[in-house]
Amino acid sequence: MKIAVVGATGMVGTVMLKVLEERNLPITELIPVASARSAGKKLTYKGKDFTVVTLEDALKMKPDVALFSAGGDTSLEWAPKFAEVGTTVIDNSSAWRMDPTKKLVVPEINGDVLTKDDKIIANPNCSTIQLVAALSPLHLKYKMRRVVISTYQSVSGSGVKAVQQLDNEEAGVDGEMAYPHKIGRNAIPHCDIFLENGYTKEEMKLVKEPKKILRDDSFSVTATAVRIPTSGGHSEAVNVQFENDFDLTEIRQILTETPGIIVQDDLANNVYPMAINAHDKDEVFVGRIRRDESQENTLNLWIVADNLRKGAATNTVQIAEYLVANNLV
């Protein structure tokens, strides 16, 4: 199987190659793809050197699968071109997520929606993936009515420039700013651009994407997204009201038995999810599981995941694995 990684030299692309190395997709040929200025560079994969090629060259090679992580504009222009030559594109940008003709997939939740005819598949927003991973089994059991999310998102979610800004601030170096304010020792309630309704684009992704993934618009969602000075890992405080009452022991059991979820909820020993411990891991970590005592049938959770892995690269690769396992590519 011939696989192209588009954006191979970028932050998510680099992690994607690492995830591919760790997993068992039957890759016979790897095609690393980047912009013209990176073409000709060498990168190492499984101990072998590969030459980075342009999108034009990769298209001519007609890969079976192309994992895109090169931004929305690139995806809008090039994903259809790859699809036309028979390539299945799994796109990590926001370009296709809310397109009604495209599937938005977390494979362990809604992989069953995929068919051989799906040539452009959208990978959800990083914050959405960890949210629905934890809420999906609870929704099936208790049926959600309303979800309130506050995110605490690392600078790595904004890309290399933002990571460099934090590094520069910690080193006392003046440099290019990714944010309109300093991020060190700060919390900026501003992830992505502001929209006319006063919410950011990131917040509206959290409002819309879970409904599409869960194939259910009967529940409501509101979100506030905050950027904090951590280098990796997104955290979420989630308040969810259900139609049906629940037992906390059963909640913990359901989450513990859900593949890809690790419950860390031992308050006596100060055990709860933290971004620093989620680093380089593919699981979604859930803790601080407690009843909201201010209203009925309502639960509080703290959800943490590595935004570059399960929130981006790993989920993209898992979609490819699902396609291969089900003979859809």
Does 191 qualify as catalytic in the annotation?
A: no
Smallest Cα–Cα separation from 110: which of 215, 216, 25, 209? 215
Q: At what angle do helices 314-325 and 11-22 cross, to 10 degrees?
A: 40
Q: CB of 114 within 8 A of CB of 323?
A: yes
Distance of CA 290 to the CA centre of its chain: 26
Catalytic (active site) residue 139: no
Q: How far apart are CA 208 and CA 213, in angstroms?
A: 9
Q: Are 50 and 44 in contact (CB under 8 A)?
A: yes
The two three-digit tokens of residue 84, written as one number: 């036309």
Three-class DSSP category at 2: strand
Burial class (CB in 10 A: 0-12, 13-18, 19+), 117: exposed
Question: Which of 303, 274, 298 is closest to 286 using CA atoms?
Answer: 303
Q: Where are the alpha helices (DSSP H) in the chain?
A: 11-22, 55-60, 72-84, 107-110, 126-142, 160-171, 201-214, 248-256, 275-278, 314-325
Catalytic residue among 126, 181, 190, 191: 126
* CB contact at 8 A, 48 and 283: no
Catalytic residue among 139, 191, 234, 279: 234
Q: Residues with catalytic annotation?
A: 126, 234
